[in-house]
Structure 1
Amino acid sequence: MSKYGLVGKKLGHSLSPLIHNYVFQKLNLSGEYSLYEIENEKDILKKLRAEDVVGFNITIPYKEVLLEELDYISEEAKKIGAINLVRIEDGKTYGYNSDYFGFIKMLEEHSVEISKKSCYVLGSGGAAKSVIVALNDLGAKEIVVVTRDIESKKAELKRKFKNIIVVSYEDIIGGEILINTTPVGMYPNTLNSPVTEDILKRFDVAIDLIYNPADTEFLKLAKKNGLKCVNGVSMLVNQAIKSDEIWKGIKVDRALVEELEELVEKELRGEKL
């Protein structure tokens, strides 16, 4: 059976095995998806090759460490400067960024149009970089990155992404689409929101990449003020599906994506699967 998995330092209660193993079983594909907690970045490829793993996802804090070690890097991963998906075939390693594809699919699924829109991105980490590249490729009119570390992050971000604006939270003017890529509001600290209700009122659409809980404080406040709301479950599932498509050379249909999203929502609510 082909081995796949998720690599990170602390993986906790990841939903990745649930999603991938469900896909393998449903489509009758050879595959088993496991968690690989690795303490040292230098051991990643060596350890996974030794275990005959043929494909893996990468999470915090290793999304940028393999850029120089792989044989091939996809275009979107080069632009983002981070990899979260690796395929190993015939001894060669191929790196991609499935967050990029997952985010775009999520927007399509929820009919969120980016072209010619003013978009604010909360946060400046790896997820934010995937979102910035996707927004740029989709023709956003303006991309404003909001960070608490303006002094340390501004130069780095402007060097990497030429056409963005970088501001502090105090300088948010307002726009059309507001995207949270920070962990603020994630389980177990679910009572927090990265921005106030007053700031949310300045936007039309609120997107939260957090999927646990599916209904974050950020989205509750947005909903209360009439914004269109999108949670992170769709992105989680769609980036996982992109991984399976790349590993297996398949195309997963929309019905299975919807089935998986429902499965994840039930798991998050603690309902019987």
Structure 2
Amino acid sequence: MQFFGLFGEHLSHSYSERIHSAFFDRIGLDAGYKHIELSPDELGSAIEGIRVLEFVGVNVTIPYKQAVMPYLDEITPEATRIGAVNTIKVKNGKLYGANTDYYGFGTMLASHGIAVENKTAMVLGFGGSAKAVVLYLLDNGINKIIIVSRKKGSLTDLPDDSRIALMNYDEIADITGDLIINTTPLGMFPDNIGISAVPLEVISHFTAAVDLIYNPQETEFLRLAKTAALKTCNGLEMLVHQGIKSEEIWLERSFDLALNQEIYDKITS
């Protein structure tokens, strides 16, 4: 039996175990996937543990996508550029870090017909997932990105690109654009349900809204976006896409994109 897992601090909201279990059933792989909740001081020993116990790989989520990086033997150029790792592969006793959020985000946008070329996007928050989002937008022809962060004065790891503007939440009331993306945990099950990072007055200045949160599938942010008639999508489809891409890395195999839709339909039925 092969073993896989997810590292995070609080994982009661996560769909990862059901996604990967459905994937194993579908391809006939004798494997298990476990949620592994860790406090910050347990991270180092947990990473060493997957090496010793010969896990095939683990995913990494909030708040450890950056914290895991010093423990790894090699990191892909893409993950290095993003500055965050969400996938660790164990091979021949070494740990290899990768990032599949970039792929998952782009595949989700494409499936919903949300274009980014020559558009203006607002990104709420700038954690590990936001870094992948911002780089995807830059790589795919975005005209301007407004990154909104409560840590505006202390952010030092922004990409060096003239298309990026950094603002506080109290500076964005009159900003208009095409796409607004929530990468913060505000709205997430169980502690933040019913909260939106920004009010309707801000959301209504855009034409499409994306929330990387997937539990609940309709956050307060997306509920408000729907009342303003925006095109919307939540993060569950992104989670499936990035999860199956992780499996491709771990198993060193490729899978047809139709399988992702099959897994998505199974976990949402």
CA shift digits 1:133-162 (9 cap, x unpaired): 111111211111011222223xx144x443
Corresponding residue pairs, total = 263
Whether 1:123 and 2:122 are equivalent positions in the alignment is no
Return the structure number with greater relative CO, CA threshold 8 A, min gap 6: 2
| Alpha-carbon separation, structure 1, partners of 2:59 and 2:137 | 23
Check conservation: 1:107, 1:113, Cα contact below 8 A. yes
Name the SS for the 1:68 alignment partner.
Answer: helix
Alignment of 1:1-273 (within 5 A): 1-39=1-39, 40-153=42-155, 156-158=156-158, 160-163=159-162, 164-172=164-172, 173-188=175-190, 189-266=192-269
Q: Is the 8 A contact 2:51 2:95 kept in 1?
A: no
Judge conservation of contact 1:214–1:265 (CA < 8 Å) in 2: no
Amino acid of the residue matched to residue 202 of structure 1? Answer: H
Query: Partner residue of 1:269?
Result: none
TM-aligned CA distance change 1:79 to 1:178, over 3 Å: same
**What amino acid sits opposite 1:145 in the alignment?**
I
| Contact 2:54 2:90 (C-alpha < 8 Å) held by counterparts | no
**Larger deviation, residues 8-17 vs 210-219:** 8-17
| CA–CA separation in structure 2 for the residues paired with 1:11 and 1:185 | 15
TM-score for the superposition, normalised by structure 1? 0.90
Could you tell me whether the CA contact under 8 Å between 2:87 and 2:99 is conserved in 1?
A: yes
- Supply the RMSD in Å over aligned alpha carbons: 1.6
Residues in 1 aligned to 2:36 and 2:220: alpha-carbon distance in whole angstroms = 31
Describe the shift of the 1:10–1:226 C-alpha distance in structure 2 as closer, same or farther (beyond 3 A): closer
**In terms of mean alpha carbon deviation, does 180-189 or 232-241 score higher?**
180-189
1:9 and 1:216 mapped to 2: Cα distance? Answer: 21
Distance 1:143 1:76 in 2: 20
Structure 2 CA distance for aligned equivalents of residues 261 and 132 of structure 1: 25
User: How many percent of aligned residue pairs carry the same amino acid?
Assistant: 41
Q: 1:13: Cα distance to partner?
A: 4.5
In the alignment, the residues of structure 1 paired with residue 149 and residue 9 of structure 2 have an alpha-carbon distance, to the nearest angstrom, of 25
- TM-score by structure 2 length? 0.92
Q: Tell me, in whole angstroms, the C-alpha distance in 2 between the residues paired with 1:210 and 1:24.
A: 24
Moved more, 84-93 or 65-74: 65-74
Structure 2 residues not aligned, in runs of 5+: none
